[in-house]
Structures are given as C-alpha cells and as structure tokens.
Copies of this chain bind each other. A is one copy, B any other.
C-alpha cells in the first residue's frame, strides 16, 4: 500500500514552505534540502501551484510561498489534488484485464476504505506537521 512518490514529495515541499514562512522558497533550496532531481521537484511544484497550495513570485528574487495559512491547507485535500493514482487494484486502473471486473463486488469495500483514508487526513492540516527551520539540512 503506497502513495505515489509525487504525493510524498508534495508533502515535503509544503512542510518546508510552511516551516520557513519568512523567506521565499526557491527550487534550488528544495533540491538541496531533500536531494531530489530538479525535474521531479519542478513537476511537483507546478502541480502544487496549479492546485492552489503554492504561489510563485517570479523574477531573480522570486520564489514560492504558501497560498494559504498552514491551518487552511488540509492534508486530505492535498492528497486528493496531487496523488496521480487512486487505482488501488487493477480494475480501478487503465489497462485492466481482470476477468471478473463487471460483477466483482470488491471495488465497493475498497472505495469505502479509500474514503476513510482520505477522511482521516481531512482531520489534519499543514499546521499540524510543520517543523522548525533547523530541522532542514542544507538550509541557508
């Protein structure tokens, strides 16, 4: 049972942005702190910006900041917005070839379990999981 790496990285970026509210967050800082590939970081930042969790300030002195207060950024909402794959089992995904897809009754319990998973995350906001700036290595 895994979340996609994109969702994992999205949480890391939001935690870093929310834990260092006095500075604009730069892509290079995210890369240095988490030792992640530039392409991956850019892709996740684009997703978080398009979903309205981050705001980008352009220019040489630009960077990223949270688009809302940390206690208004809900962890369930973040997961729904950035997780690219809610296909728990094959029949919930493209390319499904399972022979009993049409009559199968497993999808209903699995969807209920997935809703319970997200509803639990709905009870938390980014404010609940912020850290202190000194917790991040390589932070200038």
From residue A36, how far is it (CB to closest CB) to chain B in Å?
Answer: 10
A86 to B35, CA, bound (A): 24
The stretch of A20-28, A47-55, A59-67, A87-95 in contact with B is A87-95
From B88, B113, B128, B138, A118 is in contact (CB under 8 Å) with B113
Interface residues of A in 63-120 (CB under 8 A from B): 75, 83, 85-90, 97-100, 103-106, 109-110, 112-120
Whether A136 lies near B106 (C-beta < 8 A) is no
The answer for the CA separation of A68 and B131 in the assembled complex, in Å, is 48
Residues of chain B within 8 A (CB-CB) of A98 are: 12, 34
8 inter-chain pairs at a CB distance below 8 angstroms, sorted by A residue, are: A1-B114, A2-B85, A33-B100, A34-B99, A75-B109, A109-B120, A109-B121, A117-B117
